[in-house]
Structure 1
């Protein structure tokens, strides 16, 4: 297994949240009980109010019967019976500001609590049942309400609180049992739905992450076709795993390439040293053709030797920091065009550069960027055999200007353009638009060199009429 993938497999597996289902169950139970409590509290208040109003109505009907008697005369036995039937201890009616005591029980051992049902505030209505439940057994309630069956300002009754307490306790117990049953049923259905819709898909995603962490080359299961957020997570996870898998393979190839380069670096430097010694002997030659070619050969050997010195550093970390100086751009482009193989009879270079235009850059690194871009343009034009009688002829146009504190260099060609499927990944390692003979590292290295300068290299446009790259460097 390649190095990067082996290191990933050595990591501990992703730990799944084992307590998620239990926490979900606990939260479901808490929420359903809370909802049940919110239902019981107003239900208890409504029950007590109905109970009191029933006593008011019974007492009101009894008061109508008492007033029908001559002089409102009623025996103690009848009064006691009427009070017992109504469940109250006393009845009074206020009419036109005059309070009439119609039925009255013996004196009470405790002062009754007063409740006015006509304008009772909501907080008091909600707390009245709990005062009833916790009240003294001898507690009485004095209740006032509007008459329903007779004229008057209000009707007021005095009722013992103990019967209300017993009935309220029974009501709350029954309501609690029903609420618990409903809560258990609703909580079970809700929990089962969440487990089916959320927990199981999340466990499937977790298992996929664990398998991928253990073995990135293991085939991931196909994501579901769900249209919700979990389906989107599964599809995005599958896409990211595939991208990571491809990235790991590319990194493994880079590691293998670096190991190979490290092995041949020593021998290559010895070969270049021998070639430089041979070029020094050629310097004494009287042949004019040798004298004309010798400077170009010396420059190429010098750059190759410098590249071999830096190749191990590049493989270990990154390109060395640029040693920036002011470089005349015209001379730099002429040297790069010569090394890129541009010539007047084939693919030629045309320039539009202001006079004495200079670039603040590392000479060797700028040369490598320009050579990579020009060589790619030349190879694309020479490989284009389907555009009439071209025969490998074409043009590479280089323009330069200063804009917003940046030096902007554009390199355009009239080649066939870059395919759409490659243009989106053009700066990734081992991505090449050439049919053969390319490693796919030239643009990757060139962009890294531009970034080391604090600039950028980007593809501006590409199409059947050609391709344009833009190099931006700080001034």
Structure 2
């Protein structure tokens, strides 16, 4: 049992520590503390006012008793006098008229008077001090109270009474006030807690979730936060975070490209040197000989120089890292595929032929321009692979959807990819499929699909051909919503 109790105490302490370390918990405790402080500031003058009313009531009852005595011409029995004093709650009554003090009612006083309080000239500080003295004094002393008679019935009225009954009623009144204050503070704190949680804590948690999700996949442009907070400060923070995430995506892409570019410098220099050396040899032959074979050598010279220029342009374009985040919109996929095929000079009757198996009504959500570039790269690679064999072939484009994503397949009947190309397929300058290529097309295509939160995969590559598949998610991002919403042009489709 002692061990169970210790474990329970540890659990309670951990829970309390967790509450204190949260913004909601600290705000709740501060709210309760400040409400209780405000109620305490109200309680002190309230208790002082209660004491004043109590004493004023005793003076009024004592004055009524004195009027009864005067009305009977001082002919009251001892029993009646005791009853009048008991009803007023005092030991004696002194009424002063015309500078003459008159003892109207009197009974034995059990002990000497401990203190005298004049209510006629008492200010707020005196009343608060008197109330504090009465509460802190644990005894039951006799006190004298002087006040102003009502209805101008004299110059003053003076009574003596026990302080104990008054103190007990003051304590009872203070406890009632404290109970009501505690109840009000709890209700107020709960309402403020819920309001702050809704207006501040939940938006802050949303920002934290975005940051955590973004940290797990910094290249996924879907995870860039869309500012939705109504509080100005929180909205400014969300806008700053969105700008930072957008800039970081570009910086990460540029860093990755520059790293790949740096690793490929040696290969570029080697390839470029060989290409230019060949061009130089052909140029020397033109200068030194008038042989008719020069006419046949000229195209080779032009081809060598063109390859060098293309290699330099591809390298420089890759290093610029100017890709913008995808602008997600809904559009029909088939027209984009038909446009890609037409741009590559392909059709069902061309050689190689291009077959498109996509439902006309299939709608997807993506960046149409970037997806066009990805499909163009894949179709161009497929066509070049088939052309290199010198035989006829077929390129197939198909697409469909599941509950989780859209898929797009690009297949061909070419010779398949060499093993070395498959090992580094989506790495720039290493995954080239054809001789003299840079491998930038597949690297950029994979990067663009990652920006959509999807993936580009090689399904198969053998003697029967090659097949790639693209997966584009329907959701708006991990942990950020159940389903995506359509984006306005130039914006991201993210759940708030």
Q: TM-score, normalised by structure 2?
A: 0.46
TM superposition score normalised by structure 1: 0.48
